[in-house]
Chain A
C-alpha cells in the first residue's frame, strides 16, 4: 500500500511539474497615447505564447514543435500583461509588482524607451532578465546593465543606416542630398535619436544638419514645427515620431507645401500600418527602417505564417516594432528552455552566449553583444508605394526600387 502511495505521489508531482506555468511579465502601453501600438504588441506576444504552448510543426521555430518548454517537462509559459500608460513611474511600479507579487521570472517591454529605462532598472535591482523588443533609444544599452538585452537596432544603428542610405541614393541615383533636418518628440526616444544624428553626422561629412526641431509630447498642432522645417529647406528629414503626431506632420507638410527629397522615420509612427490607412495617397514616398513589411511575406514563409496568426487577432498585418516585441517573447522563452530552469543566473548565461534562430527577421538570427544589444540588425529600409511598404534597401532584400525624389504634392 505504502509503495502504491509513493508511486502515486511521484506520478502526481510529475503531473504538477508538467503543468507548471512559468510567468513572464510583459509591460506595454495598453492605455494612453501610445496604446494603439501597445495593444497590437499585446496581440503579438499572445501569438508568441500560443506558438510556445501549442504544437505548430509547420512553423520552423525551436519552441513551435512541442507544447510548452520541452526542457522543463512541457511547462507552459504565461505572459502577465501590465499597462504603463506611457508613464515611466508606472512602468517602474508595474515592474516591481510583477516581480514581487506575480513572481515573474523575467520581463519584456516596454515599447517606449522612456518606460523601458526605469522598468529595466527594477529588473536589474531584483536580478532577473529583461528583454526589450522594440525600444530603440541607444541609451538603454549604454548603461552597463547586467540583466538588460535589446532586440531592435538602437537609434544609433538606425542613424548610421539612414546616412548610409542617403549616401547610396546620392551615389546610385545622383540624388544630391546634403541638408538634413531632424524632427523629434520631446521624450527619451526622440531626444536620443536627435543626439545620435548630431553625433553620427560627423562620420558623414557630405551632410550638414540644418534644423533641429523638437516638439512637445501630446502636441495639439504642429504648425510652427513645420514652418521651422520649411524655413530650413532640408533635402532629408529624419523623424522620431509616433503615429498621431507623424500623421499631423504629413498633413501639414502638404498644407505648407514642404517638399524634401526624402523623409526617413525611426522605429515609431511611420511603421504603424494605420499611417497608410489615415493618409491614403499622402503616405506614399515616406520611408523608414522596419523589421518587416508585408512585401517580404512572400519571401519569408515562417514570417507569413506568424502574420497569419497575428492578423486573425488584430485585423492588420504585423509591423516592425510589433515583430520585435514578438521576438522578445520568443527569445526569453527559448532562453528559459535552454537553461532548463527558471534560475536567473542560468537564463542570463544563455542570453549572453546563445545565438537564437529568428527566421522571421531578414537577419535570421539574434545574438546579444556584451552590452546586451542584438548585434544583428533586423531592419530593412522601406518606402511606401501605393499604400504598400516596399523593401528598398539593402539591394538584396529589395522588393521595389527607391524613389529618391519626393514628388511635388500637386503632382501626386
Chain B
C-alpha cells in the first residue's frame, strides 16, 4: 500500500509543482501575489473542454492552444492590471489580483454556467498501468510527466537563455538591470505570459482528471501559494520539490491520519517551515 501511496503522491505533487512554478516566477520577479493564478488555469481547462465539446479535439491536441490562451491572459493581466499597480503599495496589487480573480470566476459562470463538466473520452481516458499491486492511471501519469518536463524546460529557459538571464537580473535589482540595458517592462510582461503558459499546460493536463467549473482553479491556486512559500519565492526547483513534498504529505499523511486532514497536513507543514525558515526550504 505504501508504494501505491508514494506513486500517487508523486503524481499529484508533480501537477501541483507546475501550477506553483508559474506563480513563483511572478512572485520572485515582481513581489506580486497573483490571486488570479488558479483562475488562469480554469480558463485553460475551459479552452480544452470547449475544443473537445465543439470540435472533438483531444486535450493533448489542444494543449498548445490552451497554453497560448493562458499566456495571452497573462499578458493582458500585466498590461491592464499589474502595470498600473506595480509601483503602488503592495496591498494595491494584492487587491487588484483578488478583484481580477473574482471577475474571472463570475464571468466564467456567466458565460458557461456553474455546471461541472468533464472531458469525456480522450486518447488516454480509462487507460492504466498495473505494476504488481500498484495502479497508475495513464492520464495522471501523463499529467505528471508533462508537468515535470515543463518545469525542467522553464528552469532551463531561465538559466540558459538571454531572456532568462534578464529575468534573473531584474529579479535581483530592477534598477541595475535597466542600467545594464535590460528592458524590464518586456521582462515583466513575458514573465507573466510564461507564468500563464505553465498554468495553461497544468490546466490542460488536469482537464481529463478534474472537473471543469468556474471554481476549478481555486484550490490549486491556494495550494500553489503554500508550495511557493515552502519552496522559496522565485525558486523554480524549490517549487518543484515543495510540490512533490506536499503531494506526498497529502497522500501518505491523509491515508494514515484521516483523509479529511490531507490539506490540513499540507498547511501544517507550511506553517512549521515558515516558523523555522521564513524564506522557504530552498529560498535564499
Residues on A facing B (Cβ under 8 Å): 31-33, 35-36, 38-39, 186, 213-216, 218-221, 223-225, 227-228, 231, 243-244, 247-248, 251, 254-257, 274, 278-280
B259 contacts A224, C-beta separation under 8 Å = yes
Q: Enumerate chain A residues within 8 angstroms of B47, measured Cβ to Cβ.
A: none
Tell me the nearest residue of chain B to A34, going by C-beta. B114
Asked if B8 is an interface residue, CB under 8 A from chain A, the answer is: yes
Q: In whole angstroms, how far apart are the Cα atoms of A251 and B4 in the complex?
A: 17
A35 contacts B114, C-beta separation under 8 Å = yes
A36 contacts B115, C-beta separation under 8 Å = yes
B128 contacts A255, C-beta separation under 8 Å = yes
Residues on B facing A (Cβ under 8 Å): 1, 4-5, 8, 12, 105-106, 109, 113-118, 120-121, 126, 128, 135, 137, 209-211, 213-215, 218-220, 223, 250-251, 254-255, 258-260, 262-263
Residue in B106, B210, B213 whose CB lies within 8 Å of A36: B213
CB A160 to nearest CB in B, in angstroms, measures 25
Residue in B4, B118, B259, B263 whose CB lies within 8 Å of A247: B118
Tell me the nearest residue of chain B to A212, going by C-beta. B258
| Contact (A231, B126) CB under 8 Å given A220-B220, A221-B209, A223-B251 | no
Residue in A186, A225, A231, A243 whose CB lies within 8 Å of B116: A243
CB A208 to nearest CB in B, in angstroms, measures 20
Q: Enumerate chain A residues within 8 angstroms of B250, measured Cβ to Cβ.
A: 224
CB B116 to nearest CB in A, in angstroms, measures 4
B259 contacts A244, C-beta separation under 8 Å = no
Q: In whole angstroms, how far apart are the Cα atoms of A32 and B101 in the complex?
A: 13
CB A245 to nearest CB in B, in angstroms, measures 9
CB A39 to nearest CB in B, in angstroms, measures 6
Q: In whole angstroms, how far apart are the Cα atoms of A35 and B218 in the complex?
A: 15
A214 contacts B258, C-beta separation under 8 Å = yes
CB B262 to nearest CB in A, in angstroms, measures 6
Q: In whole angstroms, how far apart are the Cα atoms of A223 and B106 in the complex?
A: 29
Q: In whole angstroms, how far apart are the Cα atoms of A118 and B191 in the complex?
A: 45
Residue in B113, B215, B251, B259 whose CB lies within 8 Å of A33: B215
User: Could you list some 11 contacts between A and B, CB below 8 A?
Assistant: A31-B109, A33-B215, A35-B114, A214-B260, A215-B259, A216-B263, A220-B219, A224-B251, A243-B116, A248-B210, A280-B121
Q: Enumerate chain B residues within 8 angstroms of A248, measured Cβ to Cβ.
A: 209-211
Q: Enumerate chain B residues within 8 angstroms of A218, measured Cβ to Cβ.
A: 215, 218-219
A39 contacts B211, C-beta separation under 8 Å = no
Residue in B4, B115, B120, B262 whose CB lies within 8 Å of A227: B4
| Contact (A247, B116) CB under 8 Å given A215-B260, A255-B135 | yes
Task: Give the number of residue pairs across the A-B interface with Cβ within 8 Å.
Answer: 94
Q: In whole angstroms, how far apart are the Cα atoms of A255 and B11 in the complex?
A: 14
A39 contacts B12, C-beta separation under 8 Å = no
Q: In whole angstroms, how far apart are the Cα atoms of A169 and B226 in the complex?
A: 48
Residue in B209, B211, B263 whose CB lies within 8 Å of A244: B211
B211 contacts A247, C-beta separation under 8 Å = yes
Q: Enumerate chain B residues within 8 angstroms of A280, measured Cβ to Cβ.
A: 120-121
Q: In whole angstroms, how far apart are the Cα atoms of A33 and B216 in the complex?
A: 9
Q: Enumerate chain B residues within 8 angstroms of A38, measured Cβ to Cβ.
A: 114
Q: In whole angstroms, how far apart are the Cα atoms of A194 and B218 in the complex?
A: 27
Q: Enumerate chain B residues within 8 angstroms of A244, measured Cβ to Cβ.
A: 116, 211, 213
Q: In whole angstroms, how far apart are the Cα atoms of A224 and B254 in the complex?
A: 7
B262 contacts A216, C-beta separation under 8 Å = yes
Q: Enumerate chain A residues within 8 angstroms of B105, measured Cβ to Cβ.
A: 31
A39 contacts B113, C-beta separation under 8 Å = yes
| Contact (A220, B223) CB under 8 Å given A35-B109, A36-B213 | yes
Tell me the nearest residue of chain A to B250, going by C-beta. A224
B118 contacts A213, C-beta separation under 8 Å = no
B115 contacts A274, C-beta separation under 8 Å = yes
Q: In whole angstroms, how far apart are the Cα atoms of A280 and B213 in the complex?
A: 18
B209 contacts A251, C-beta separation under 8 Å = yes
Q: Enumerate chain B residues within 8 angstroms of A227, measured Cβ to Cβ.
A: 1, 4-5, 8, 255
Closest 10 CB pairs of A and B: A35-B114, A214-B260, A244-B116, A244-B211, A255-B137, A36-B114, A278-B118, A218-B219, A223-B8, A224-B255
Other A-B pairs, 10, CB within 8 Å; known A35-B214, A221-B210, A255-B135: A33-B215, A218-B215, A218-B218, A219-B219, A220-B210, A224-B255, A228-B255, A244-B211, A255-B137, A256-B135
CB B152 to nearest CB in A, in angstroms, measures 23
Q: Enumerate chain B residues within 8 angstroms of A32, measured Cβ to Cβ.
A: 114, 215
| Contact (A278, B262) CB under 8 Å given A224-B8, A254-B126, A255-B137 | no
Q: Enumerate chain B residues within 8 angstroms of A213, measured Cβ to Cβ.
A: 259
Q: Enumerate chain A residues within 8 angstroms of B4, measured Cβ to Cβ.
A: 227
Q: Enumerate chain B residues within 8 angstroms of A223, measured Cβ to Cβ.
A: 8, 12, 251
Q: In whole angstroms, how far apart are the Cα atoms of A257 and B137 in the complex?
A: 11
Tell me the nearest residue of chain B to A269, going by C-beta. B116
